[in-house]
Amino acid sequence: AQSVTQLGSHVSVSEGALVLLRCNYSSSVPPYLFWYVQYPNQGLQLLLKYTTGATLVKGINGFEAEFKKSETSFHLTKPSAHMSDAAEYFCAVTPRSNDYKLSFGAGTTVTVRA
Amino acid sequence: DTAVSQTPKYLVTQMGNDKSIKCEQNLGHDTMYWYKQDSKKFLKIMFSYNNKELIINETVPNRFSPKSPDKAHLNLHINSLELGDSAVYFCASSQDSTNYNEQFFGPGTRLTVL
């Protein structure tokens, strides 16, 4: 079964500072990888995904993530945090066997300090 | 032109009641899902339908019964509601033509059982 670990349930950054959210997966075959964002009282919105090809993936709102097979990681970064980035962020994986199951990490709450 | 919509957005009810949540997607997707997000924001798959056929049925009490009248709709009926059913329920959909099944989420239904 797929397993996703997000290190740090809460991350607090200053406006303009780097945002780094960590995600590690546990499977021998790299899965498809996703980052979703959930703004307060809203549904989940896809930020970016890695399926194949270039390991550095750019997403919406200035976020990017890098797939590192050797580290089984897919960390999310944004160079300069904005107040509007305050939200819950979820890393998710689905196996390449296409079994439809999307497994989510526990989520990381990001707060941005003025 | 909402892609995945759910009704109602909020649902407050008494223990023992029966309630339904409706979901509709206008993306032409083949697969639809129900997720439960608990008070700690953990997301877990409950059910999935592909072309009206049940393909994922996780360990969920049989008080929960999904129904898919057509490919664009997946409703969730809950019998004999319990306090522990209080959560946010998300509907999602994905297209079979991609192996990675990128899922698009609805806005959620916050269920409160008193």
Contact A42 B45 (CB under 8 A): no
**How far is it, in rounded angstroms, from Cα A45 to Cα A39?**
9
| Chain A environment of B56 (Cβ under 8 Å) | 100-101
| pLDDT tens digits along A21-63 | 999 999 888 889 999 999 988 899 999 999 989 999 999 999 9
Structure tokens at B50: 């592909």
Residues ≥6 apart with Cβ < 8 Å to A54: none
- Tell me if chain A has a CB within 8 Å of the CB of B107: yes
Question: From the CA of A44, how many Å to the nearest CA of chain B?
Answer: 6
- Measured CA distances, B110 to A32, A85, B4, B106 (Å): 29, 23, 16, 12
Give strand pairing partners of A39. none
Question: From the CA of A100, how many Å to the nearest CA of chain B?
Answer: 7
pLDDT value at position A28? 80
Whether B1 has a pLDDT exceeding 70, the answer reads no
Q: Where are the beta strands (DSSP E) in chain B?
A: 4-7, 10-13, 19-25, 31-37, 43-50, 53-57, 64-70, 73-78, 87-94, 104-105, 109-113
Structure tokens at B64: 């929960």
Give strand pairing partners of B21. B76
Phi-psi region of B42 (alpha: psi -120 to 50; beta: other; left: phi over 0): beta
**How far is it, in rounded angstroms, from Cα A87 to Cα B24?**
26
pLDDT band, very low/low/confident/very high, at A3 (cuts 50, 70, 90): confident
Phi, psi of A69 (to 5 degrees): -65, -40
Three-class DSSP category at B80: coil
Q: Are the C-beta atoms of A37 and A43 separated by less than 8 Å?
A: no
pLDDT band, very low/low/confident/very high, at B50 (cuts 50, 70, 90): confident
Whether A113 has a pLDDT exceeding 90, the answer reads yes
**How far is it, in rounded angstroms, from Cα A63 to Cα A79?**
8
Lowest-pLDDT range, A36-40, A92-96, B110-114? Answer: A92-96
For chain A positions 21-50, those within 8 Å of chain B (CB to CB) are 32, 34, 36, 38, 42-46, 49
Work out how many CB contacts closer than 8 A connect A with B: 58
Average pLDDT, chain A: 93
Rounded to an integer, the average pLDDT of A85-96 is: 93
| Chain A environment of B105 (Cβ under 8 Å) | 36, 43-45
| pLDDT tens digits along B83-105 | 999 999 999 999 876 667 789 99
pLDDT value at position B54? 86
**How far is it, in rounded angstroms, from Cα B109 to Cα A60?**
25
Q: Give the residue from chain A lying closest to B94, CA to CA.
A: A100
pLDDT value at position B32? 94
Question: From the CA of B77, how many Å to the nearest CA of chain A?
Answer: 20
